[in-house]
A and B are shown apart, each in its own frame.
Chain A
Amino acid sequence: MSDVPSIVVDKLVKRFGTFIAVNQVSFQIRAGEIFGLLGPNGSGKSTIIRMLCGLLSPSSGSATVVEFDVARQAEEVRRHIGYMSQKFSLYNDLTAIENLQFFGGLYGVKGRALDERIAWAIKMSGLSGSEQLLTGELSGGWKQRLALGCAVLHRPQVLFLDEPTAGVDPLSRRQFWELIHQMSREGVTILVTTHYMDEAEYCNRLALINQGLVVEMGTPTEIKQTAIRGDLLLIECSPLGGGLAAIKQAPGVLEASVFGAALHVVISPGRQPVTELPAFLAAHDVRVGRIEPISPSLEDAFVSLTGSRALSSEPSR
């Protein structure tokens, strides 16, 4: 990774009528970095990406990609970026090869170079031998990698991925991220939007987005450490709902929420939870099972920062 900023976003704003979708967002991404925009649906992350691609024009603020201004030099920007949309927009009635030829042609990749890139893309997607299949007949994982291939035929310096693994099985997802890391090592800057926690962990840096605002920014570790202003405990109890209501009133408890079948509770540092809390809960007719300290996950961080539970965690973890 170099220190040259590949993407610079400065106080970017997008308004749709009176609704502010993106509110003074600023960040910088270095070349070769994998940067994630993490947030729930409707938080504005897709809007940010589309502005950076030149698909939407900003209401105010500015952004440059590889030193080209997205508002005024949109065409140059597009020559140097690749984009994979949420829906992996490929033509279902064309074969894999035909899709690649089409997008390659649009990017101006021709002749021998195109053949090589197509061959690479086929291999990378694991479609060797299935090139002539209609894209509509491929399953999610293959389509996803094919879409990625279509987006990078011209070897762009920057890659924008909008929810690239939505609806794809976990194994394919992992393979996909290996490809992404490979590209990052080759110096490609990658901006990903996602609402999956585990994917966010793959990124070099993250920006947590909620309701159009950047809530927090940093490496995954940094975020996890700084977001929680205390110690995190996992408490199994029953009834769960009753336990939640009760524990919020317990002394020293800063936050509490339900995570799966247990409670995650933030307490001020220095308290003695193991001794105090069970008694407190028992006094409120709540039976306590396990209590143990856990290290915060990104989801904990997000909940803490925004007070909302709109993100989803990977169930198969």
Chain B
Amino acid sequence: MFDRIWCMIVKEFLQLRRDKYARFRLLVPPIIQMLVYGYAATFEVNRVQIAVIDFDHSQESRDLLSRFAFTGRFEVAKVLSNEQELKSLIGRSSIPMALKIEPGFAELLRKGQTAHLQVIVDGTNSNTALIAVGYVNQIANQFSQDYARDRLNQLAPAIAATVPQISLEQRPWYNPDLNSQWFFVPGVIGSITLMMVVTLTAFAIVREREIGTLEQIMVTPIRPFELILGKTIPFFVVGLADVLLVAVVGTLWFQVPFRGNPLVLLLGVVLFLLSTLNVGLLISTLSSTQQQAFVLGFFFLNPAFTLSGFAFPITSMPKAMQMITYADPLRYFLVILRGTFLKGVGLDVLWPQMLALALLTSVLLLISVARFRKSID
């Protein structure tokens, strides 16, 4: 039995080696994904370009505006002098935000009343806007507190010291610098493996069916499960190699930390690979041509990738969509990946994901094998 499986594995690797495009197909996608998600995809908000327009020209207004200029989050790109310029700037240029101070600003403050800072936001990129708003609030808040305290010091120095102040200390865990790369790069391990293993496996089996060698193999004493193993083991190896490649590049080049137990990750990797192999297998039983395999593969991979929590948080999705993600192996693997790389947690926390992957694999395997038997007929 093992001889036959070995035979098939040897053949698969021989073909892989002979294939001119194989090297291209195996190396380029992981590299591209790592580049894109390591560098291009970022949620960080830094050096947001803002425009300022100050109609008050007081010490207070200048103080407030300078606080924005001094933080790394914002970059004062333009100082405007009238409303017209504002209208032509927001929405028509790349500057997403403008700060406006009306005349009378300092006067209101000195009288102890509330003065206003107007912020005009280009909602076209609402995500950046939302995050930037958070930072604007922070700076405004700080200004408020400082000003109020100074005022109190002047008015009633005796009680100034005991004004209640509540500050919020932010402590981001696992990713203290809130580095987008740390979020994405471990995820790429999952996404790239998913795509490659599913498509490679599906195409490999369907190709044999197309050229007729599948039939030729079926008339030998080989048993269906030996055939399946023989076709899937090579891609298991390829998947493993991909995981290793991205993990190594991730930790060495992108300096993503790995705080967990490598064995736990390995278990997750194995379970995940098994599930993706089964998906590829299932697709191959449903397609008789490579064209069909392509379309089916696409139908699966697109939602599997988009809804997995890779870039967009699952909790932001409507409940119905969240239900769908329960069938996506990548969803569980991402939790395992981020858990072992960033959080450093072990099986005691990750066992639900492992269990889910194991269940998914078994179900898929049963369906695929049943379909495989039928598809021979």
Using a CB–CB cutoff of 8 Å, the interface residues on chain A facing chain B are: 53-57, 75, 78-79, 81, 83, 85-87, 89-94, 98, 101-103, 105-108, 110, 134, 150
The verdict on B218 contacting chain A, using a C-beta distance below 8 Å, is yes
Q: Are B221 and A105 in contact (CB under 8 A)?
A: no
The verdict on B377 contacting chain A, using a C-beta distance below 8 Å, is yes
Q: Are B376 and A55 in contact (CB under 8 A)?
A: yes
**A57-B15 Cα distance, complex, nearest whole Å:** 32
Mask for B349-377, Cβ within 8 A of A = 1, else 0? 00000000000000000000000000011
Give the shortest distance, in Å, between B31 (CB) and chain A (any CB).
Answer: 25
Which of B205-219 touch A at CB < 8 Å? Answer: 211-219
**A239-B130 Cα distance, complex, nearest whole Å:** 90
Q: Given contacts A93-B18, A108-B221, is CB(A83)–CB(B216) below 8 Å?
A: yes
The verdict on B73 contacting chain A, using a C-beta distance below 8 Å, is no
**A134-B19 Cα distance, complex, nearest whole Å:** 12
The residue that A91 contacts in the complex, of B15, B218, B219, B221, with Cβ under 8 A, is B15
Residues of the B chain whose Cβ atoms lie less than 8 Å from the Cβ of A90: 213, 216
The verdict on B6 contacting chain A, using a C-beta distance below 8 Å, is yes
The verdict on B40 contacting chain A, using a C-beta distance below 8 Å, is no
Give the shortest distance, in Å, between A44 (CB) and chain B (any CB).
Answer: 16
Residues of the B chain whose Cβ atoms lie less than 8 Å from the Cβ of A54: 218-219
Give the shortest distance, in Å, between B1 (CB) and chain A (any CB).
Answer: 10
Residues of the A chain whose Cβ atoms lie less than 8 Å from the Cβ of B222: 106
**A55-B15 Cα distance, complex, nearest whole Å:** 25
The verdict on B229 contacting chain A, using a C-beta distance below 8 Å, is no
The verdict on B57 contacting chain A, using a C-beta distance below 8 Å, is no
Q: Are A93 and B221 in contact (CB under 8 A)?
A: no
Residues of the B chain whose Cβ atoms lie less than 8 Å from the Cβ of A91: 11, 15, 213
Across the A-B interface, how many residue pairs have beta carbons closer than 8 Å?
Answer: 72
Most A CB contacts (10 A, CB to CB) among B8, B213, B218 go to B213
**A87-B211 Cα distance, complex, nearest whole Å:** 8
Residues of the A chain whose Cβ atoms lie less than 8 Å from the Cβ of B216: 83, 85, 89-90, 103, 150
Q: Are A107 and B213 in contact (CB under 8 A)?
A: no
Q: How large is the interface on B (under 10, 10 to 19, 20 to 34, 35 or more residues)?
A: 20 to 34
**A108-B223 Cα distance, complex, nearest whole Å:** 13
Residues of the A chain whose Cβ atoms lie less than 8 Å from the Cβ of B377: 56-57
The residue that A87 contacts in the complex, of B18, B212, B220, with Cβ under 8 A, is B212
Q: Are B19 and A93 in contact (CB under 8 A)?
A: yes
Closest to B1 in A: A108
Q: Are A78 and B14 in contact (CB under 8 A)?
A: no
The residue that A105 contacts in the complex, of B7, B211, B213, with Cβ under 8 A, is B7
Closest to B20 in A: A93
Q: Given contacts A57-B377, A93-B15, is CB(A85)–CB(B212) below 8 Å?
A: yes
Q: Are B7 and A94 in contact (CB under 8 A)?
A: no
Most B CB contacts (10 A, CB to CB) among A56, A75, A107 go to A107
The verdict on B63 contacting chain A, using a C-beta distance below 8 Å, is no
Residues of the A chain whose Cβ atoms lie less than 8 Å from the Cβ of B7: 101-102, 105-106
Give the shortest distance, in Å, between A133 (CB) and chain B (any CB).
Answer: 13
Most A CB contacts (10 A, CB to CB) among B212, B215, B220 go to B220
Closest 6 CB pairs of A and B: A105-B7, A89-B212, A89-B216, A106-B220, A87-B212, A83-B219
**A285-B221 Cα distance, complex, nearest whole Å:** 66
Give the shortest distance, in Å, between A162 (CB) and chain B (any CB).
Answer: 10
The verdict on B259 contacting chain A, using a C-beta distance below 8 Å, is no
